[in-house]
Chains A and B, each alone.
Chain A
Amino acid sequence: MISEYFDVKIRVIFPRITKPLPEKDNAQINAVGNFNYEPPKTVASTSDVIADNDIFIPKTNKEKVENLKNTLSDLENKFEKILKYINKKCKHIVLEYDPNLTKNEALAAAEAELFGYASGAITYDMYEQTVRFQEKIDRYISHLSIENNGRLESVA
């Protein structure tokens, strides 16, 4: 007499209400990589030339560091603005997948790890949360690395 127990895994989820990706958005996503970019045609005006002459050129090291810090801060602010704009435009995008399919197993597991369950739908909000979370992890690891003179052995 022979006997075997075959594995069964039953997942219980709270599904979110989602809507399929509209054709227009789908087409836009699929077209990524094939778009044609043409830089805006601008002509330098007299005022631009004058403004260029007025650009602050740091002389001392202290001034250079201060200037770098301000530039970085400006860039961060601009990046935040761009991100907010993208977030606004992409709010409605939902990636739907079937968590039952073997090919989606890794995606389902990742969603369950981060959000407690695999709903089969990843909203842009969820994507943004994941990106923010990754940023925090990166900063934390960098911080620990600095504290440990570049070593990460103590990061568990």
Chain B
Amino acid sequence: MALFIYKYNEDNSEFIEISKNGAGTSPIQTTHNGTDGQVVEEKLYLKNDDQSLFFTNVELSATPPKMVRVGDINYPEAFINYKIIIQDEQPTESEWLAVESGNKVNFETIGTNQAADLSYKPFWIQVGIAPGTRVQTIDGVSLYLSAEANTIGG
């Protein structure tokens, strides 16, 4: 798999590779005010690191799908709101409202049969926590990426 997700570190102007499959070494990390509830938006990038491949049917989704319940019996209303939008500029409030939590986005193709596309493809995620969510760290969620890898010139 030559497709990776990166976050951009403004402190040192470097792209940091997001860890995968539960390794937890460099996750996409958001911090929320549990008392009042808080929405956090973060810009990320999808990138092909293999010059010999191009990808089709590239899809990205928030898992588990839909509203993810994180509360216990004391906080039954606590849910994560979890959305993805593919674009460079930060989405507006109305653009986020038009998207359902747990949505799936489609990058379609990255590269062609003639050449690989090794550029960073920007997208945004929005993670929202409801007011009254207890203090905790939630790591049972992930961004699920699926694609078909094709050899260039094949």
Decide if B137 is an interface residue (CB 8 Å cutoff).
Answer: yes
Q: Are the CB atoms of A7 and B27 closer together than 8 Å?
A: yes
| From A3, A6, A15, A102, residue with most partner B Cβ within 10 Å | A6
What CA separation (Å) do A6 and B26 show in the bound complex?
10
Chain A residues 1 to 47 lying within 8 A of chain B, measured CB to CB, are 1-15
Partner of A14, one of B25, B28, B135, B146: B135
Residue on A with the closest CB to B136? Answer: A12
B interface: dominant SS: strand
Q: Size band of the B side of the interface?
A: 35 or more
What CA separation (Å) do A100 and B3 show in the bound complex?
24
Q: Mark B1-33, 1 if CB is under 8 A from A, else 0.
A: 101010001010000101111111111111111
Chain B residues 23 to 72 lying within 8 A of chain A, measured CB to CB, are 23-35, 63
Other than A3-B146, A10-B127, A12-B133, give 15 A-B pairs with Cβ distance below 8 A: A3-B144, A6-B18, A6-B28, A6-B143, A7-B20, A7-B28, A9-B27, A11-B32, A11-B138, A12-B136, A13-B33, A14-B135, A102-B26, A116-B135, A120-B31
Between A and B, 24 residue pairs with Cβ closer than 8 Å are A2-B148, A2-B149, A3-B144, A3-B147, A4-B3, A4-B144, A5-B21, A6-B18, A6-B27, A7-B26, A8-B29, A8-B141, A9-B27, A11-B31, A12-B136, A13-B31, A13-B32, A14-B34, A15-B33, A100-B29, A100-B30, A101-B11, A102-B16, A118-B31
